[in-house]
Structure 1
Amino acid sequence: MIRDHFNSQQPRFVYEDVAGRGSFGITYRVREKLPGGGQKDGTSRRLAVKRALDGEEDVLRNEIRWLKELAGSAHIVRIVASHDGVKKQGPVARFVRKLSLRGSRGNVKDSLVGLQGPVLMMEYLENGDLAQLYYMTIKYGLVVPNRVLWSVLLCLVRAFIAMAYPRKADENAEPCLEEIPGEGTQPLNLDHGDLHMGNVMIGDIASPSGDEHELVPILKLIDFGQAIESQDGMRENLFKISKIMINLITRRVIQVNDKTASDYKGYRAHATEILPPPPEDPYREYKYTSLDPRLRDLIARCLAQEPGERPGLAEMLRVAQAAAAAAAGETPAAAAAVSSLPADRDGDVNETDDAIHAFLKKALYDAEDGAQGGQRDARGSVGRDRRLRVLS
């Protein structure tokens, strides 16, 4: 039905394929011909169209609601249009609508009319998700550079700022970099509800975030179908991204339980795997000598057993911003001194621009076809549901 619907709007839209299937819906990929893009230059953009599975319509309606609330934020997937219900049209109205879609861009929402709702149309993010990058690091034995880790963390923190302080911008507004407003603005305690690597999509270098993404692509959160306001919403979000970070660092699934907790700098944290060995255990090998100690300590605090020991959103932004900026400006020698990074015979470390480019090329841009594919499903991934449940 989706194929026939969009192909009937030629030459403006071309149906491409099923991007993926998830627990709550199916995502399709379509291509839209943009104004000014003649037949020769072929200017176009890909879009993701999401429909709910039978009985899961309210989940998609919830996602549409929150994407509208969060519109205008750089680190949230951009909603393009949505439609609910079926608008019955006579043959004349259908003919006029078809001509209008053929002739100009018009209102992209019109392209969804005639489909049984709810239907969601979003930007299509070509570079896949964070889970893909994670599995490529395992496959190729790659260590994620500190500068990439800081960039990932900063993106996720900014996404949570968007959730705490929704812009509620027009759907056509250009997305802006998220900032914490002045005192007196009460945050919205929104729990994403399904936060895992498969729901963190990788965008591109071009973004409204300026210098923050000159080297590492921007990340965007998707899949807000289970999002809900909760007293502990923001706390849950920050705790879960810390689990994502520790998995990226270790390239392993680290469970959070009593066995993963250790005393560290006066508090107890679920970060045993990345912490240096205690003085009483001098023979235990420390496997993460290249990890920036600033990042290690911040992640450990985020995984503190006692919620009161964990940093708040404002501190997370301040620390992540400062560390990411410092890492970008540090010389290899300075980075090695601060982060205890192993240097090769030439004194270079794996944090240089060239090294970051090489890492991203191997783990992201050159990823095999079976692992690549943008928004591959309604939950953010295709064919990896079992693995993603482990990572969530």
Structure 2
Amino acid sequence: MASYPGIEKIRGDALKEVKNVESAFQKAGEKRFKIKGVLGEGTGGVALKMAMISKPSPTSQPVQEFILKRAYNTEQEAKLRKEIAFVQRFRGDMHVAQFFSLEGEPIDSISYLKGPTLLTEWIGNGTLKELIVKRADWGKPLPNRMLWRLFLCLCRMLIAMAWPSDRPPGTKRESERVPSPNENGKRPDKLELHHGDLNIQNILIGNLDLSEHAFVNTLIIIDFGASSIEEDETKAGQAAKVNISKMGEIMLNLIGGRVMKSAAGSSNMNFITVEGQNTIRSWARDLDGLNPVYKAPASTVAEHKDRMDNLDPDLRRLVIRCLATAMNNRPELEDLVEEVERNVSGKAATYYASYRYGSNETNSEVARIMKELLHDATTS
């Protein structure tokens, strides 16, 4: 077997399946693409980075890359089939990873490979986890206008999971929107879909475009191998609230905190609304200062305070509510999306002119910081 980047990180059945795939390619005389590396093991099996084989010529297109995911036992095959079915539901959604089509092959298999095979697009700017690590090295707060736009991407993912578009093959990719109410003022019921593995490693950073992502890259969610649909009618409406909490946790990570699910991890938190002051218990306690149980050095505590002092109070309030310990205190998805959209569209750089890092809030500076954090942590 050839030595692929990342092969040393997997063992046992996953390694055996990589050998099986390589052998099947050789026996079938596959010349269209090749294994470029091993990305690792996921909830549905082992994932490989693939590259189309293209002969250089003056008119040749750039080499296409994609992800091939394979199961390595009966249990994993069931998970992978389920993941393929979920990806099909999200076909055409901008913020969910899409199928990669191989000419002459179905969407759920390769003819000479036994069992299911999931092929999805390659998204090459890394994970949200990597950006968060670089932000920590950089040491300064991410611009509020960047945070709002990343929050909106997360909301778009929540919309996709609540109201899957299930578009036909070949549909142009579109940004997810909350369905409009009917003549009786009622929206379609939400799908009770739990992602099951929402975290900063399963959110990838896509490219810029001319819509909502003109200067902050698109975020794209992957890995529905642990996803499930709640069948208990007494729990109707809870799946979206669970997913909202996970997205709140991701926003807390971007801002510079984390959730500690222990007795010391939540606290009563105050915030202001148009109705006045509110207090709820929330897992977002790091927004009020680093938890003492971290035993962080004074310099880290001061750096954290610097970030929190620069945070938009409206953003703070929403993250607190998303991470409310009581599900009923979390916002409804429709209301959350509406408020995030309003802040994205309504707050220009001038809104933050009085903030310490207000100079970082212009379109050009946000774009510069985003670009440089994707490559290194040396931006100033």
Q: TM-score, normalised by structure 1?
A: 0.75
- 1:180 is matched with 178
Counterparts in 2 of 1:115-264, with a 5 A limit?
A: 115-183=113-181, 184=186, 185-206=188-209, 210-230=210-230, 231=235, 232-250=238-256, 252-259=257-264, 260-264=266-270
State the shift of 1:302 in Å: 1.5
Q: What are the equivalent positions in structure 2 for 1:336-355 lying under 5 Å apart?
A: 336-337=353-354, 341-343=355-357, 349-355=359-365
Amino acid at match of 1:117: G
> By how many angstroms is 1:172 displaced?
2.4
Note if contact 2:43-2:226 (Cα within 8 Å) is conserved in structure 1. no
* Matching residue's letter, 1:52: A
Which consecutive residues of structure 2, in runs of 5 or more, have no partner in the other structure? Answer: 1-19, 271-276, 291-300
Task: Indicate the SS of the match to 1:27.
Answer: strand
Distance in 2 (CA, whole Å) between partners of 1:139 and 1:355 is 18
> Which of 343, 351, 373 lines up with 1:334 in the alignment?
351
The answer to whether the Cα contact below 8 Å between 2:43 and 2:223 also exists between their aligned partners in 1 is: no
Please tell me whether the aligned partners of residues 69 and 167 of structure 1 are also in contact (alpha carbons under 8 angstroms).
yes
Pick aligned residue for 1:49 from 54, 68, 77: 68
Q: Which residue does 1:272 correspond to in 2?
A: 285
The 1-side partners of 2:140 and 2:51 are apart by 34
Q: Report deviation, 1:307.
A: 2.3
Which one of the candidate residues 358, 362, 369 is aligned to 2:368?
Answer: 358
Aligned to 2:97, the other structure's residue is in SS state coil
Maintained 8 Å contact 2:105/2:111: no
Distance 2:109 2:280 in 1: 54
Q: Choose which of 299, 307, 314 in structure 2 pairs with 1:294.
A: 314
Give the Å deviation of 1:291: 0.6
Amino acid at match of 2:267: A
* Percent of aligned pairs sharing the same letter: 29
- Specify which structure has the bigger relative contact order, considering alpha-carbon pairs within 8 angstroms and separated by 6 or more residues: 1
Distance 1:29 1:276, change over 3 A: closer
CA distance in 2 between partners of 1:121 and 1:152 (Å): 26
- Say if 1:275 and 1:296, in contact at 8 Å, map to a contact too: no
Please say if residues 94 and 220 of structure 2, whose CA atoms lie closer than 8 Å, have aligned partners that are also in contact. Answer: yes
Instruction: State how many pairs are aligned.
Output: 324
Deviation at 1:367, TM superposition (A): 7.3
Cα contact 2:202–2:223 (8 A) shared by 1: yes
* Partner-residue secondary structure (3-state), 2:165: coil
Give the superposition deviation at 1:355.
2.4
- Kindly state the Cα deviation for residue 110 of structure 1 after the two structures are TM-superposed: 9.8
Q: Please give the per-residue CA displacement for 1:35-92, whole angstroms capped at 9, x wherever unaligned.
A: xx973333132110001132421111111111111212111110235xxxxxxxxxxx
Deviation at 1:199, TM superposition (A): 0.7
Deviation (angstroms), 1:23: 5.1
Structure 1 unmatched ranges of 5 or more: 82-100, 278-283, 369-392
Deviation at 1:163, TM superposition (A): 0.9
Q: How far apart are the structure 1 equivalents of 2:109 and 2:194?
A: 32
Q: Go from structure 1 to structure 2 and tell me whether the alpha carbon gap of 1:110 and 1:181 turns closer, same or farther (over 3 Å shift).
A: closer
Report the AA paired with residue 272 of structure 1. Answer: R
Contact 1:20/1:28, CA 8 A, preserved across alignment:
yes
SS in 1 for 2:215: coil
> Distance in 1 between the 2:169 and 2:315 partners?
35
Structure 1 letter corresponding to 2:195 = H
Q: TM-score, normalised by structure 2?
A: 0.77
Q: Distance in 1 between matches of 2:39 and 2:360?
A: 35
Query: Conserved in 2, the CA contact under 8 Å of 1:72 and 1:174?
Result: yes
- The match for 1:374 is none
Measure, in 2, the Cα distance between the counterparts of 1:150 and 1:75.
16
